Amino acid sequence: MAPLTDPTDHLIESVEDGVATLTMNRPEARNALSAAMSAGLEEAIPRLAGDPNVRVVVLTGTGGAFCAGGDVKGFARSSSARRSGSAPGVGTGRSFEQRVAGLRTATEIVRCLHE
pLDDT of 54-67, one tens digit each?
988 888 999 988 88
Out of 34-38, 78-82, 111-115, pick the least confident.
Answer: 111-115
CATH code of the domain covering residue 31: 3.90.226.10
Number of Cβ within a 10 Å radius of residue 83: 9
For residue 5, tell me if it sits in a domain: no
Determine the distance from the C-alpha atom of residue 64 to the mean position of all C-alpha atoms in its chain, rounded to a whole number: 17
Three-class SS of residue 33? strand
pLDDT digits (tens, 9 = 90+) for 18-52: 999 999 999 999 999 888 888 888 888 888 888 99
Give the count of domains, the chain.
1
pLDDT digits (tens, 9 = 90+) for 88-111: 444 455 665 666 565 565 555 545
For residue 3, tell me if it sits in a domain: no
Distance separating alpha carbons of residues 93 and 91, to the nearest angstrom? 6
For residue 93, tell me if it sits in a domain: yes
Range 73-81 average pLDDT? 63
For residue 6, tell me if it sits in a domain: no
Three-class SS of residue 6? coil
E-strand stretches of the chain: 11-16, 19-24, 56-61, 110-112
For residue 18, tell me if it sits in a domain: yes
Q: Exposure string (b/e) for 16-31, b if CB count within 10 Å is 16 or more?
A: eeeebbbbbbbeebbb
Residue 54 · residue 17 · CB < 8 Å: no
Range of the domain at 84: 11-112
**How long a stretch of residues is the chain?**
115
- pTM (2 d.p.): 0.68
Three-class SS of residue 65? coil
